Amino acid sequence: MITLDALNTATPEHFTATLSGVFEHAPWVAAAIAPARPFATVTALHEAMFATVLAAPPDQVTTFLRGHPELAGSAALSGTLTRESTAEQASLNLDRGAEDIAALNTAYAARFGFPFITCVRRHTRASLLSEFRRRVTLDPATEHATALQEIFYITRLRLAVLVEGPGMPAVNGSLTTHVLDTSIGRPGKGILVELREAGIPTLLASGRTNADGRTVAPLLHGAPLRIGQYELLFHVGAYFAGQATERPAFLDIVPVHFGISEPETHYHVPLLVSPGAYSTYRGS
């Protein structure tokens, strides 16, 4: 990473070169704002860059949009994506169902004249495809604005890992849980908690609650959350079975299904549980 201070005092050439990968194939964005330095915050730097795009002539914006790679497209398959795009696309297994994506790419390009652009780090595979199907039906003006909003998210994330300094943009979300044993009014200790994307067996995280009823670390953190549907599994049957009192065999593994729609925020999904009842909610 480079510090904001260093960027503020670099030569225009070095400044532009350093930031050239933030906006895809568009070093002119960084070049345009070099004279506006110094920037007080990393957020202000990003906002200045994005405002440059919004203020650019329509032809230049169109060229810029067209400079983005297709999702799981030929550039991805042939390995000619930018380094940033490669890392971003890698996580979603987009090669599975590549035919559907190819068909969507074709339809999208035919309709809008540029490739489908989205901030893949804010999506699960399911929500990305759902979003792709939805956006391909939008009217061109709405979709143009949507594409630019996605570029805002993409570039904000890229900048946040490239530059450090005051006023960092808020790009991370987190997910925590907490188990309370309401039959004794105490935290539920030693309960296995598992997280997975709904319908996908792979665990995203798991942990055992400590004496305060919490997992040692958040279940998700340090990045944007991915929009999608999730399932928490609380293994309370084993917990209650370990207690002295005999309990009715009513609850075993309690599943909680919930949706994440705001990637940059904190989700707290606790469980208040006794042998005969439970509650859950979106907390804070």
The answer to the question of residue 224 lying near its own copies (CB under 8 A) is no
Residue 23 or 240 with smaller CB distance to its own copies: 240
Compute the C-alpha angle 63/67/68, nearest 5°: 135
Interface with its own copies, residue 275, by CB under 8 A:
yes
N- to C-terminal Cα separation, the chain: 32
* DSSP label at residue 216: S
Site residues (CB under 8 A) for its own copies, limited to 38-67: none
User: Which among 243, 259, 110, 270 is positioned nearest to 198, based on CA atoms?
Assistant: 259
Q: Which residue has the tokens 């598992």?
A: 194
Stretch that binds its own copies, among 47-55, 67-75, 92-100, 178-186 (CB under 8 A): 178-186
Of 29-37, 83-91, 168-176, 276-284: span binding its own copies (CB under 8 A): 276-284
Helix axes 140-162, 42-55, angle to 10 degrees: 150
Q: Which residues pair with 3 in a beta bridge?
A: 164
Binding mask 121-160 for its own copies (x = CB under 8 A): ----------------------------------------
Member of 185, 201, 222, 242 binding its own copies (CB under 8 A): 185
CB of 266 to its own copies, least distance (A): 10
238 binds its own copies (CB under 8 A): no
Query: Considering the complex, what minimum distance in angstroms separates the CB of residue 53 from its own copies?
Result: 29
Q: Is residue 271 a contact point for its own copies (CB under 8 A)?
A: no
Which two tokens mark 273? 């549980």
Number of residues that make up the chain: 284
Candidate list 12, 38, 97, 276; residue touching its own copies; CB under 8 A:
276
Q: How many CA atoms lie within 13 A of 95 on its CB side?
A: 8
- Single out the segment in contact with its own copies by CB under 8 A; choices: 49-57, 108-116, 138-146, 173-181: 173-181
Distance in angstroms (rounded) separating the CA atoms of residues 180 and 118: 39
Segment contacting its own copies by CB under 8 A, of 9-17, 21-29, 98-106, 185-193: 185-193
Asked whether the beta carbons of 14 and 6 are under 8 A apart, the reply is no
Nearer to its own copies, 27 or 237 (CB): 237
Binding mask 200-219 for its own copies (x = CB under 8 A): ------------xx------
Nearer to its own copies, 28 or 258 (CB): 258
Answer yes or no: are the C-beta atoms of 193 and 179 closer than 8 Å.
yes
Distance of CA 120 to the CA centre of its chain: 7
Cα distances from 211 to residues 59, 127, 194, 214, 216, in angstroms, run: 60, 36, 18, 7, 10
Integer Cα distance of 246 and 229 in angstroms: 35
Q: Give dist(CA 39, CA 33) in Å, integer.
A: 10
184 interacts with its own copies by CB under 8 A? yes
Binding of its own copies by 281 (CB under 8 A): yes
Give the C-alpha separation, 10 to 216, whole Å.
42
- Which of 165, 245, 263, 264 touches its own copies by CB under 8 A? 245
Near its own copies by CB under 8 A: residue from 126, 192, 229, 235: 229
- Interface with its own copies (CB under 8 A): 178, 180-187, 212-213, 229, 245, 247-255, 257-259, 261, 272, 274-284
